[in-house]
Amino acid sequence: MSDMLRDAASKGYAVPCFNAINLDMVRGIIQAAEEECSPVIICHAEIHFKYTPLEKIAPILVAEMNAARVPVAVLLDHGKSFDAVLKAMQLGFNAVMFDGSEYGYEENVSKTAEIVKIAKTFDVSVEGELGYVTRPRGGGAEGEDEDSIVSDTSLYTDPEQACDFAERTGVDALAVAFGTVHGVYLKEPKLELDRLSRIRALTDVPLVMHGGSGLSRGDFEQSIQGGIAKVNYYTNMALKVAERLRVQWSGEASRIFYHDLMMASIHEFREDARQVMKMLGSSRRA
Ligand code: 13P
C-alpha cells in the first residue's frame, strides 16, 4: 500500500479503497480494477466484523489479491483493537489502519507507534488517523454520533500535530479530518482545503480521505491537489447497488433466483467502482 500511495501522491491521483464485506463485492471491485487498469485497495473494517468475521473473509481477500492482474492491497480498516490489528497481519493482510483517533494525542501517538514497530516485522504498511472523521446520527448503518459535531472543526486535524504525529509514529499513510464524514451527508459537505494544504506542506506522508461517498468530482480533484492519495468509499456503493437491484426487480417476474441477484450485484458493484476510479484518476495507473 505504501508504494501505491507514494506513486499516487507523486503523480496527482488517488488510489480508491473500498470496504468489501463479501465475495460479490470483492469480485466486482477487482473486475473494475482490471478493466480500468487501476491499482486498488480492498479493506474490511472492524465495525463490519459483525456481518463477516475477519477469519472468514481474510482467505478470500488474500486469494483475490494474489490472483488479480493489477496491484491490489488488502487493508484492515479502522482497526480499534490490538487484537484485530495483529490478527489481520497474521492472516495475510499487507496493510492495517490503526484508528487511535478516540484517544488523547499522546496515547494515539504511542499506540500507533507500537503498531508500526510490530507491522515492520510483518512487512505490513500502517495507516494512522489524527483528528476525527465523524459519522452523523441517522447518516449511516452504524450511526453513533450527534449531528452537531459534524461541523465541529475542533475535531479536524491540526497541521502542526500532523507533522509531529507522522515523525513520531512512522506511519505510511495518515487519515486526516478536514470536513468529510462517514455515511450519508446530511448537509452539503464543506471541505477545509486550506487546512489540507497546510498539512501537506508540513508532512510528506501520503494523506487519506475517509467518507468519500457523496462528494463531487470537483471535491475529489481539489482534495487530490491538496495532497489526498487514498480515498475510502463504501456507503454510496452499498446504498446505490441495493437501490438499483430493488428498482430492477420491482414489478418483475414472481420468481427471482438468488444466483441472478448475485450476478447482478457483482455487475453493479463493478460499475460503481469503475466510476470512482475514473473520478480519482486511478484508471490506467496500474
Ligand atoms: P463512506 O462510507 O462514507 O464512503 O466512508 C468509507 C470510509 O471512510 C471507510 O473507512
Q: What is the pLDDT of residue 180?
A: 92
180 Cβ closer than 6 Å to some ligand 1 atom = no
Instruction: Indicate whether 285 belongs to any domain.
Output: no
Pocket test for ligand 1, best of 15, 29, 99, 182 (most atoms within 8 A of CB): 182
Average pLDDT score over residue span 143-167:
76
Choose the weakest-confidence range: 64-68, 136-140, 157-161, 201-205.
136-140
Q: What percent of the chain has pLDDT over 90?
A: 83
| Options 24, 77, 99, 145, the catalytic residue | 77
The set of long-range contacts for 239-246, using a CB threshold of 8 Å and a minimum separation of 24, is 239/184, 240/268, 240/272, 241/265, 241/268, 241/269, 241/272, 244/268
Instruction: Indicate whether 23 belongs to any domain.
Output: yes
The pTM (predicted TM-score) of the whole model is 0.94
Q: What percent of the chain has pLDDT over 70?
A: 93
Instruction: Indicate whether 163 belongs to any domain.
Output: yes
Side chain identity, residue 19: N
127 Cβ closer than 6 Å to some ligand 1 atom = no
Taking the centre of ligand 1 as the mean of its atom positions, its distance from the CA of residue 253, in whole angstroms, is: 35
Q: What is the pLDDT of residue 276?
A: 98
Taking the centre of ligand 1 as the mean of its atom positions, its distance from the CA of residue 212, in whole angstroms, is: 6
Contact of 113 with 168, CB cutoff 8 Å: yes
Where does the pLDDT of residue 144 fall: very low under 50, low under 70, confident under 90, or very high at 90 and above? very low
Looking at residue 254, which CATH number applies to its domain? 3.20.20.70
64 Cβ closer than 6 Å to some ligand 1 atom = no
* Ligand 1, atom 5, residue with closest C-alpha: 211
31 Cβ closer than 6 Å to some ligand 1 atom = no
Is residue 152 flagged as an active site residue?
Answer: no
Average pLDDT score over residue span 151-172:
92
57-94 per-residue burial string, b: 16 or more CB within 10 A, e: under 16:
bbebbbebbeebebbbbbbbbbbbeeebbbbbbebbbb
Average pLDDT across the chain, whole number: 92
Say if strands 173-176 and 125-130 run parallel, antiparallel, or are unpaired.
parallel
* Ligand 1, atom 8, residue with closest C-alpha: 210
254-264: pLDDT as tens digits: 788 899 999 99
Say if strands 125-130 and 95-98 run parallel, antiparallel, or are unpaired.
parallel
* Ligand 1, atom 1, residue with closest C-alpha: 211
Q: Tell which atom from ligand 1 comes closest to the C-alpha of 184.
A: 3
DSSP string, the chain: -HHHHHHHHHHT--EEEEE--SHHHHHHHHHHHHHHT--EEEEEEGGGTTTS-HHHHHHHHHHHHHH-SS-EEEEEEEE-SHHHHHHHHHTT-SEEEE--TTS-HHHHHHHHHHHHHHHHHHT-EEEEEES----BTTSSTT--B-GGGGG-GGGSPPHHHHHHHHHHH--SEEEE-SS--SS--SS-----HHHHHHHHHH--SPEEE---TT--HHHHHHHHHTTEEEEEE-HHHHHHHHHHHHHHHTTS-S---HHHHHHHHHHHHHHHHHHHHHHHT-TT--
210 Cβ closer than 6 Å to some ligand 1 atom = yes
Q: What is the pLDDT of residue 171?
A: 98
18 Cβ closer than 6 Å to some ligand 1 atom = no
* Ligand 1, atom 9, residue with closest C-alpha: 232
2-59: pLDDT as tens digits: 999 999 999 999 999 999 999 999 999 999 999 999 999 999 999 999 999 999 999 9
Instruction: Indicate whether 88 belongs to any domain.
Output: yes
Instruction: Indicate whether 109 belongs to any domain.
Output: yes
Distances (CA, A) of 229 to 172, 222, 267, 286: 12, 12, 27, 15
Per the structure, the complete domain to which residue 22 belongs is given by 2-280
Structural domain count of the chain: 1
